[in-house]
Structure 1
């Protein structure tokens, strides 16, 4: 079956996940993380992609970004991915593929989910029990969004800029978002959309995507199974 084109809406952020092949590690050393971020910054600039949040885990990567046009993200991921594989294979004396097929991408309803996805991405190391707090992990955008560390790769989203009038106010308000645990319904909604590459948003946002693209924004209902309309509705409540 031919693959459907990825969903796209001008100005709409996307949550992208890229995993290592067979869940193998994509980063061995500190130099690997630094090389990936440097290459990502160059590719994002070249293909006009604004990156709002990221985390580099041992065997996968999460990115939240807004593309300049319909091909921006795919071109960026292809160029950056190819360059990093060349670096990684040469540095570690290996050959062959590094990434697991196509990256997954999900359109994100900014008004309802953008800062939630920011939080989801930057809390990955905490959920994986690698650290006890997001501030302890060096390879995520939390260092910039919450602590003010200069990260040239990052472009603040409009909703982030609205958190405060000054950088200090924005960082303080952003840190407040990380108090307590994320609700299980939010985690389930993000994972469902990410795993199936569907739209993450409310009904209005989904209808807008469907009207603009001429394609379904969520799976069709299947009676009583987990993909039924009732289940999807519960994720948004």
Structure 2
């Protein structure tokens, strides 16, 4: 059974391209296909090979790879198939699971200013209680209520 839909804001540049690679390789990690191009619901066939797809509109970070479409596709294929840093995969999963902004500190701060609230990782749990001053127990004779 699937969980509820999760979404995170993603910064531009490297952060976006890391997410592209993460998404393009998900069918491989799930052993659904042997090559990202084989997964029909992926944009990989359009971005990496130039196959026509009316649903795919390349992002400016993709277009910035090269002015030449063939070179852009080649660089994208290389980027997707390059060795994946497990820390990148873990970071994307963590930010998505917690629905935090995945991007630079500057990007996160800009989003926080616009929303007027924190959008980054927070400390888990409640704040610590203030320390209570330790007082010695009173002498037993001071507590007696009866006659001495």
**TM-score normalised by length of structure 2:** 0.77
Say if 2:80 is the partner of 1:175.
Answer: no
In structure 2, which of residues 11, 18, 28 is the aligned counterpart of residue 126 of structure 1? 28
For 1:165 and 1:208, the matched residues in 2 are separated by 30
Aligned residues: 125
Q: Are the aligned partners of 2:92 and 2:102 in contact in 1 as well (CA < 8 Å)?
A: yes
Q: Higher relative contact order by CA 8 Å / sep ≥ 6: 1 or 2?
A: 2
Aligned partner of 2:67 in structure 1 is 165
Aligned partner of 2:93 in structure 1 is 191
Unaligned runs of 5+ in 2: 126-148
Q: When you count strand as a share of all residues, which structure comes out higher?
A: 1
3-state SS, counterpart of residue 104 of structure 1: coil
Q: CA deviation at 1:167?
A: 1.5
Q: Are the aligned partners of 1:112 and 1:202 in contact in 2 as well (CA < 8 Å)?
A: no
Would you identify which runs of 4 or more consecutive aligned residues in structure 1 move more than 3 Å? none
Q: CA RMSD in A?
A: 1.6
Say if 2:29 is the partner of 1:144.
Answer: no
Q: Are the aligned partners of 2:37 and 2:44 in contact in 1 as well (CA < 8 Å)?
A: yes
For 1:111 and 1:124, the matched residues in 2 are separated by 20
Say if 2:40 is the partner of 1:156.
Answer: no
Say if 2:122 is the partner of 1:220.
Answer: yes
Aligned partner of 1:200 in structure 2 is 102
3-state SS, counterpart of residue 81 of structure 2: coil
3-state SS, counterpart of residue 140 of structure 1: coil
